[in-house]
């Protein structure tokens, strides 16, 4: 063996991934998100050629930090929250990915979300690795002051591993521009200098980028339009059903409605509404902004939550949380195409059922990459202190999304695999090629 050659990895030396009992994840449909991710990686290993020898790199996070986040509540008592920041991979550049505040967040979920960021960032070829963070908390139960104190303490605690060239957080479920402003300020105060590039998704007046707020939804819409052309689906007469009506689902619904598509059903945490002739999306957005959910929207019929999966539609957009489309409902879905606005909404068993039924799934790791793509633009603008117009940003976003999608589409055709497997093939090759070029240290 030449001195520079890397020894093969001995499988007997490989510990099981963190927090995971070994082989059960390979069969069960009720996998946790990390188990789902591992299964997705296993599916691409046969397509990685010589890079497969590095595949174990993808199956464990590079670094995972769990932090205690104590804050004083408004009533004077002290509450402790559990926070996480996981850097799954940094072979291609700094860690990058959002921070979510949700009562169900766990370390293994954040590990999976960080890994999906590695895949997503490589799939659209932005120069980042993958990372994610979260706090296990119901932010709706906190006052604004409590939310700010929690955000600041969390940022301080993860401050040892984040930074504009190390790992760059961004918004995700239940975090927004204000939360990013607090994170940026806290990091900057600790550093003694304003560091706008430490987070993306900031307010435009604080180094944020035009177009960032709509970017994920716009990316969902862009790849949806591209895929519709490939399968001969006429979007103008299409019926669309959307789960989740926040920053992703709401924007995607608006853009599809603007092309003439009918948004017939919307589900969120407050309930499910239906209108066969098409919902008035701007009116629904105003209702949600005022009341916090789609519940009580006057110009629609209320249907049972589980009925959402039976709705007659052509395009289904899950844009809420993980593991929504499972073996239990995949057989009932009527759509021709599913565009994953959420991260991890479809289980591998559901993926197989959908593929067998000829329903095209545009996977999260390409479909919702618009957000991080404009995050990248924001970071570049912050570094150069030169800001672009919204038209320029949207044009660059659309170009990147279209190019990435057409590359993945070709790989899917060449290997006769699903678009998810094709995206993983493209992304894993990029990550592992970088990994191979860098070599093992020491």
Which residues are annotated as catalytic? 132
Q: Are 166 and 95 in contact (CB under 8 A)?
A: yes
- Give CA–CA dist 332/243, Å, rounded: 15
Give the Cα-Cα-Cα angle 2, 4, 9 (nearest 5 degrees). 95
Among 372, 398, 419, 425, binds ligand GLU (CB under 6 A): 372
Among 33, 65, 371, 430, binds ligand GLU (CB under 6 A): 371
Of 239 and 244, CB closest to ligand GLU = 244
Does 252 bind ligand GLU (CB under 6 A)? Our answer is no
385 in helix, strand or coil?
coil
Output the six-digit token pair for 273. 């509404």
Does 162 bind ligand GLU (CB under 6 A)? Our answer is no
* Kind and range of the H or E run holding 282: helix 281-291
- Least distance in angstroms from the C-beta of 389 to ligand GLU: 20
Binders of ligand GLU: how many residues, by CB under 6 A? 12
Q: Segment near ligand GLU (CB under 6 A), from 73-81, 90-98, 153-161, 177-185?
A: 90-98
What is the x/- site pattern for ligand GLU, positions 201-220, by CB under 6 A? x-------------------
Neighbours of 143 (CB within 10 A): 11
Q: Segment near ligand GLU (CB under 6 A), from 94-102, 147-155, 235-243, 293-301?
A: 94-102
Does 423 bind ligand GLU (CB under 6 A)? Our answer is no
- Least distance in angstroms from the C-beta of 248 to ligand GLU: 9
- Give CA–CA dist 97/90, Å, rounded: 12
Q: Are 421 and 44 in contact (CB under 8 A)?
A: yes
- Give CA–CA dist 96/8, Å, rounded: 29
The 3-state secondary structure of 204-251 reads: HHHCCCCCHHHHHHHHHHHHHHHHHHHHCCCHHHCEEEEECCCCCHHH
Of 125 and 200, CB closest to ligand GLU = 200
- Give CA–CA dist 95/402, Å, rounded: 24
Does 98 bind ligand GLU (CB under 6 A)? Our answer is yes
Among 109, 172, 322, 340, binds ligand GLU (CB under 6 A): 172
Strand partners, 83: 67, 135
Q: Segment near ligand GLU (CB under 6 A), from 24-32, 45-53, 84-92, 95-103?
A: 95-103
- Least distance in angstroms from the C-beta of 100 to ligand GLU: 8
Does 353 bind ligand GLU (CB under 6 A)? Our answer is no
Binding site for ligand GLU (CB under 6 A): 96-98, 170, 172, 200-201, 343, 368, 371-372, 375
């Amino acid at each position: 063996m030449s001195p520079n050659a890397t020894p093969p990895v001995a499988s007997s030396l490989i510990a099981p991934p963190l927090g995971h009992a070994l082989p059960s994840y390979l069969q069960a449909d009720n996998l946790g998100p990390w188990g789902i991710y591992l299964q997705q990686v296993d599916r691409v290993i046969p397509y990685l050629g010589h890079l497969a020898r590095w595949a174990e790199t993808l199956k464990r996070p590079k670094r995972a930090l769990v932090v205690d986040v104590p804050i004083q509540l408004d009533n004077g008592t002290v509450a402790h929250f559990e926070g996480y920041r996981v850097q799954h991979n940094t072979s291609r550049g700094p860690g990058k990915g959002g921070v979510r505040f949700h009562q169900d967040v766990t370390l293994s979920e954040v590990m999976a979300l960080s890994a999906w960021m590695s895949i997503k960032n490589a799939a659209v070829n932005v120069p980042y690795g993958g990372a994610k963070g979260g706090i296990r908390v119901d932010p709706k139960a906190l006052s604004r002051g409590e939310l700010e104190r929690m955000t600041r303490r969390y940022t301080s605690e993860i401050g040892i591993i984040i930074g504009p060239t190390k790992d760059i957080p961004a918004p995700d479920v239940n975090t927004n521009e204000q939360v990013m402003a607090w994170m940026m300020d806290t990091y900057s105060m600790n550093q003694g200098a304003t560091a706008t590039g430490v987070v993306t998704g900031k307010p435009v007046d604080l180094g944020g980028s035009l177009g960032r707020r709509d970017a994920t939804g716009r990316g969902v819409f862009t790849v949806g339009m591209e895929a519709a052309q490939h399968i001969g689906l006429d979007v103008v007469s299409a019926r669309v059903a959307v789960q989740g009506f926040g920053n992703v689902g709401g924007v995607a619904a608006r853009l599809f409605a603007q092309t003439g598509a009918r948004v017939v059903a919307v589900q969120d945490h407050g309930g499910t509404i239906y209108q066969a002739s098409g919902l008035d999306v701007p009116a629904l957005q105003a209702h949600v902004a005022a009341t916090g959910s789609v519940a009580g929207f006057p110009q629609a019929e209320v249907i049972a939550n589980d009925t959402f999966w039976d709705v007659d539609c052509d395009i289904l957009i899950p844009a809420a949380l993980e593991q929504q489309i499972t073996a239990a409902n995949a057989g009932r879905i009527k759509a021709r195409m599913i565009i994953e606005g959420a991260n991890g909404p479809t289980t591998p068993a559901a993926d197989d059922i959908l593929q067998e039924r000829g329903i095209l799934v545009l996977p999260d790791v390409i479909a919702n990459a618009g957000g991080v793509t404009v995050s990248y633009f924001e970071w570049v603008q912050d570094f150069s202190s030169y800001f672009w117009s919204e038209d320029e940003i949207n044009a660059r976003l659309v170009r990147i999304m279209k190019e990435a999608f057409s590359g993945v589409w070709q790989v899917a055709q060449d290997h006769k695999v699903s678009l998810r497997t094709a995206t993983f093939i493209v992304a894993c090759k990029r990550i592992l090629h970088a990994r191979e070029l860098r070599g093992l240290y020491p």
